Amino acid sequence: IMTCDPVTIQSNMTLAEAADMFLTENVPVLPVIDSQGRMVGIISPSDLSRAFLSLIAYDREGIQIGLQVVDRPGITMDIAGCIRKVGGRIASLISTDNHTPQGIRQIYLRLHSLDRRNLIKLSMSLGDIGILLYIVDQKNNRRNFFAAA
């Protein structure tokens, strides 16, 4: 790193903080500094991408589902129950109310171990809970988009 005063990140900072630094500082890499001020590594945007894919349990054979729901206690349990009834397993679940109307939540799921023959049944069950945004079956390269968020 050939600069006198590089932008650095502390070794105890989170991936989200690193991503924010990449966006705000517009740097190609972030040297990682420990509590004694020693460089212990370097983070690149590629490292963040790999970490993100790991966190969301990405694989090339899974199923992704986007769903918009009314934000209420127990909604994730209801969704999990629908998935369990058709033999699926939740590999990751991200829930957010960013950029949604008051009282609305978007839920993004990655599923494994789901027999594709049960996908229609699952989509109908989830459609009873909320608004399906999309279902992507990466194994079979099928993409269905249902509604705009």
Instruction: Average the pLDDT over 26-31 and give the result.
Output: 94
Instruction: Average the pLDDT over 103-115 and give the result.
Output: 94
Q: Please state the pTM of the whole predicted model.
A: 0.79
pLDDT higher than threshold 80 for residue 59: no
Instruction: Average the pLDDT over 89-102 and give the result.
Output: 93
Average pLDDT of the chain is 91
Confidence of residue 133 (pLDDT cuts 50, 70, 90): very high
DSSP 117: G
pLDDT higher than threshold 90 for residue 119: yes
DSSP strand pairing (30-33 vs 9-10) = parallel
